């Protein structure tokens, strides 16, 4: 298995009609957040299937694939290393993590971030210093989303400290995609520990971006949602 064979497989499953839909959905137009990104028109399940088929690609081949101009080819590269991370020994996890960090600039759309960050950075940093996440939170759009989404793995282990610190840090972010991700992580905390989420919300809900608030209270009762939205908590 090699990259030319992978590209032939991608082409086999490509759909121009679906590619056009995806390019609109993922905002690839001039001035939009994913300007210039090119889609082949593959479904996510198909991309996962191809990743399994080519799971033994060398790191030198993966380093080329993750730089592809084709969105789904970058996604396939990420699926391959996510798959490796799940089964990796400690020393191999470090190698995968370093590969991911080295190629972070190519994790450049929200689906690429959401399907990989928690499983690679979140997994590797689980029992390590979290300084990198706060450095990323000061960076470009996708770096900031990577920072907050990486903490989903911590949340699943009932560790909310880093997520809450990042949520506070990102309260004044100007990007809607960060508001959504941050609100989502707050909601995930609430799914496990409602008091912890509400302690945070009661302190910041009146000043946080509206989208962030709406995402964070999505699972609340209608009465409680209205109270938060009307500032009557």
Q: Report the alpha-carbon distance of residue 200 to residue 212 in Å, rounded.
A: 13
| pLDDT score for 145 | 98
CATH number for region 125-233: 1.25.10.90
| pLDDT score for 18 | 95
Residue whose pair of structure tokens reads 């989208």 in the numeric block: 211
Q: Report the alpha-carbon distance of residue 145 to residue 180 in Å, rounded.
A: 10
Per-residue pLDDT of 163-187, as tens digits, reads 999 999 999 999 999 999 999 999 9
Domain locations in the chain as residue ranges: 1-104, 125-233
Q: Report the alpha-carbon distance of residue 128 to residue 109 in Å, rounded.
A: 26
Per-residue pLDDT of 77-114, as tens digits, reads 999 999 999 999 988 999 999 999 999 999 999 999 99
At 144, list the tokens: 């900031």
Per-residue pLDDT of 117-138, as tens digits, reads 999 999 999 999 999 999 999 9
- Residue 157: pLDDT over 90: yes
| pLDDT score for 109 | 96
Q: Are 57 and 6 in contact (CB under 8 A)?
A: yes
**Among 12, 40, 10, 45, CA closest to 26:** 40
- Residue 1: pLDDT over 80: no
| pLDDT score for 165 | 98
Per-residue pLDDT of 194-215, as tens digits, reads 999 999 999 999 999 999 999 9
Task: Give the residue-averaged pLDDT of 151-161.
Answer: 98
């Amino acid at each position: 298995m090699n990259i030319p064979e992978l590209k032939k497989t991608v082409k086999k499953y490509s759909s121009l009609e679906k590619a056009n839909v995806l390019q609109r959905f993922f905002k690839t137009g001039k001035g939009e957040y994913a300007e210039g990104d090119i889609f082949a028109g593959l479904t996510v399940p198909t991309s996962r299937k191809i990743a399994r088929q080519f799971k033994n690609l060398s790191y030198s081949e993966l380093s080329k694939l993750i730089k592809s101009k084709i969105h789904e080819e970058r996604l396939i590269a990420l699926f391959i290393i996510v798959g490796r991370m799940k089964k990796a020994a400690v020393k191999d996890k470090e190698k995968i993590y370093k590969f991911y960090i080295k190629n972070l600039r190519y994790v450049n759309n929200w689906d690429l971030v959401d399907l990989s960050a928690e499983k690679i950075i979140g997994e590797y940093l689980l029992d390590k210093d979290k300084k990198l996440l706060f450095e990323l939170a000061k960076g470009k759009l996708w770096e900031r989303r990577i920072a907050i989404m990486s903490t989903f793995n911590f949340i699943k282990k009932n560790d909310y400290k880093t997520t809450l610190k990042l949520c506070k840090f990102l309260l004044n972010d100007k990007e809607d995609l960060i508001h959504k991700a941050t609100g989502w992580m707050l909601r995930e905390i609430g799914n496990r520990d409602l008091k912890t989420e509400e302690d945070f919300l009661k302190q910041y809900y009146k000043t946080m971006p509206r989208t962030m608030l709406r995402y964070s209270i999505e699972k609340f009762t209608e009465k409680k949602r209205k109270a938060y939205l009307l500032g009557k908590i």
